[in-house]
Amino acid sequence: MKSRYEVFVSKDSFKFNAAHFIAYRGFRERLHGHNYRVSVRIEGPVGADGYVVDFGDIKRAARDVCSRLNERVLVPMRSDVVSIDVREAQVSMVCEDGTRFSFPQADCVLLDIVHSSAEELAAFVCLQLRDALPVLGERHVVTLEVGVAEAPNQEARYRIDL
Ligand code: ZN
């Protein structure tokens, strides 16, 4: 019989408040904010110590990622419709409709994503956690899944097989 266990962690501290707008060809949201919540689900075998992974490791890594995003403007550096320029510690964004935003770089987080949607944020957080947690490989974890909720009961999930 092949079996695997699952751990799920969603703490009050897994949150970040951030400003963003979604933009794609022919459309742009107004700048607005969310109180994002993050959750982490991990599947794998139980080790000799009775754990899949230590909850403490997951909590530390998830809080680190959240704190890097907290109280920032989320800037999707790979946007195909917003031209983004970073110079002299200022981030300028020019949208398809000519709208211009400019923020201090310290108030922004530059993300390697195309859109700051919950889906792409979930993927970003998931890959950050994978890189921050070599213990996942050491413990033969098979699945890492991250949920990012923009609001209660409005959540996107991204999952990778390790
Ligand atoms: Zn939004």
If pLDDT is split at 50, 70 and 90, which confidence band does 124 have?
very high
CB count within 10 Å of CB 91 equals 21
How many angstroms is it from 34 CA to the middle of ligand 1?
Answer: 6
How many angstroms is it from 30 CA to the middle of ligand 1?
Answer: 9
Question: Are the CB atoms for 76 and 24 separated by under 8 Å?
Answer: no
pLDDT tens readout for residues 8-67: 999 999 999 999 999 999 999 999 999 999 999 999 999 999 999 999 999 999 999 999
How many angstroms is it from 4 CA to the middle of ligand 1?
Answer: 36
Q: What is the C-alpha to C-alpha distance for residues 5 and 17, in angstroms, rounded to an integer?
A: 32
Q: What is the C-alpha to C-alpha distance for residues 139 and 77, in angstroms, rounded to an integer?
A: 34
Please classify residue 147 by burial: count the beta carbons closer than 10 Å to its beta carbon, then call 0-12 exposed, 13-18 middle and 19+ buried: buried
How many angstroms is it from 22 CA to the middle of ligand 1?
Answer: 7
How many angstroms is it from 13 CA to the middle of ligand 1?
Answer: 20
pLDDT at res. 3 = 82
How many angstroms is it from 2 CA to the middle of ligand 1?
Answer: 41
Q: What is the C-alpha to C-alpha distance for residues 158 and 40, in angstroms, rounded to an integer?
A: 10
Q: Indicate the pTM of the whole model.
A: 0.95
Delineate the domains of the chain, giving CATH numbers in brackets. 5-73+113-161 (3.30.479.10)
The mean pLDDT value for 75-101 works out to 96
CB count within 10 Å of CB 144 equals 23
